[in-house]
Structure 1
Amino acid sequence: MTTEALPPAIADFFDATNAADRARFLAAFADDAVLDDWGHVYAGRDAIAGWNETDNMGVSSHLDVLGFEQQGGAYVVSIQVTGDGYNGGGSMTFSLDGDLISRVVIAG
């Protein structure tokens, strides 16, 4: 599945990760965004940039979108991850503030 049907900021999260485009990745987030990776919380773009280096682009992650659904205003995206870090399936739940990502929750 492609990311075309997702809101642009969420599509940028995936497309930028797969292209290792750090600037585009961070630009998808609101300044005060929060990323929750299995209970490890990263608040703000600087913290999310750190997570990106240790758990995402820094370990050559490739994210395949398998599908998504809207639940109560959030987008729940099913994914498959490959790379030099975590490999396997899971889901990411995205909330938006306007056109930018305000929250991401990563779970299995």
Structure 2
Amino acid sequence: MTTLPPVVQQAIDAANAGDVDAFLALFADEGAVDDWGRVFRGHQAIRGWSDKEFIGVRVSLEVTGARRSGATTTVSALVGGDGFNGPSHFAFTVDGDRVTSMRITG
């Protein structure tokens, strides 16, 4: 399995810890979450999404694999919590020490 870039590991750790502030701090100011085609851009929009569908529903991410292509690391994970449960892929695009996008797919 590919070693995760520190910012990606920190994002997963923050989600698993239920720490939305730490999660948001990892995103660039104009960073975005693309949740199956629904795009949430900027910290306020990401927080609103996360409160309803991610950290706010006690998400848990069990990493099962990862692969890298350029600036993007795609993490395969088993998702648990009080929202969606099951396998998903999270494609994190990183610029330096910030996430510029996190795209969620099946």
Please provide the CA RMSD for this pair.
1.5
Q: For residue 67 of structure 1, report the CA deviation from its aligned partner.
A: 1.1
In the alignment, structure 2 segments of 5+ residues that lack a partner are: none
Q: Is the 8 A contact 2:76 2:90 kept in 1?
A: yes
Deviations 1:28-87 (A, max 9, x none): 100000110001100011111111101111111111111101023310110100111000
Structure 1 runs, 4 residues or longer, greater than 6 Å off:
none
Give the counterpart letter for 1:14 in structure 2. Answer: I
Q: For residue 24 of structure 2, what is the aligned residue in structure 1?
A: 26
Count matched residues. 106
In the alignment, structure 1 segments of 5+ residues that lack a partner are: none
Take 1:20 and 1:104, find their aligned partners in 2: how far apart are those partners? 17
Take 1:73 and 1:98, find their aligned partners in 2: how far apart are those partners? 9
Q: For residue 64 of structure 1, what is the aligned residue in structure 2?
A: 62
Q: Secondary structure at the match of 2:82?
A: coil
TM-score (norm 1): 0.92
Take 2:7 and 2:49, find their aligned partners in 1: how far apart are those partners? 18
Take 1:91 and 1:98, find their aligned partners in 2: how far apart are those partners? 22
Q: For residue 102 of structure 1, what is the aligned residue in structure 2?
A: 100
Q: Secondary structure at the match of 2:79?
A: strand
Q: Secondary structure at the match of 2:15?
A: helix
